[in-house]
Structure 1
Amino acid sequence: MSAEQDKQLARKGRHVSLVIAGTMMLWLGAQWIGGAMGLPVRFVFLFDLAALAALIYAGVNIFQIWRARQADKG
């Protein structure tokens, strides 16, 4: 693997870690605020779906990073 490809994968990995951490922070905050404000369950469920979408996005990117590293080995 070239140094440039390695930098790109590292950048992508940092991006994924920020997405995961940010998603969890926002999701926890939305759950807390939703409970404190007494929001209907359907709005809180929307926060859950948005967090799930972000985590699926992160999972797909993690899989792409893994595949790129596996392709380099073989």
Structure 2
Amino acid sequence: MARPADRDAAQMRLAAVVIAVAMLAWIGVQWLGARHGWAAKWAYLADLAAIGAFVWSLLVTWRIWRRRNGA
């Protein structure tokens, strides 16, 4: 069974990857949309997806912080 510190480290790496991929995907969609003249609804969809990924990463990070502080 994995130790809690190992599990926390794996979850932090996952959160970091989600943040990085979400940011790159968001920038890519914004750039492609501007270049090809996509409708604004696709930009809003990309915004919502990125916000969802950031909120999820924030919640995972907050849970790890709470677990480490014994609260």
TM-score, normalised with respect to structure 2? 0.93
Helix, strand or coil for the counterpart of 1:11? helix
Question: Share of identical aligned residues, percent?
Answer: 33
Unaligned residue ranges in structure 1 (runs of 5+)? none
Report the Cα offset of residue 43 of structure 1: 1.2
Is 1:18 matched with 2:32?
Answer: no
Helix, strand or coil for the counterpart of 1:42? helix
Normalized per residue, which structure has more helix?
1
Q: CA RMSD in A?
A: 1.3
Listed one character per residue, the Cα deviations across residues 18-54 of structure 1 (whole Å, up to 9, x for unaligned) are 0000100000001000111101111111100010011
- Matched residues, number: 70
Separation in 1 of the partners of 2:16 and 2:42? Answer: 26
Helix, strand or coil for the counterpart of 1:39? coil
TM-score, normalised with respect to structure 1? 0.90
**Residue matched to 1:38:** 37
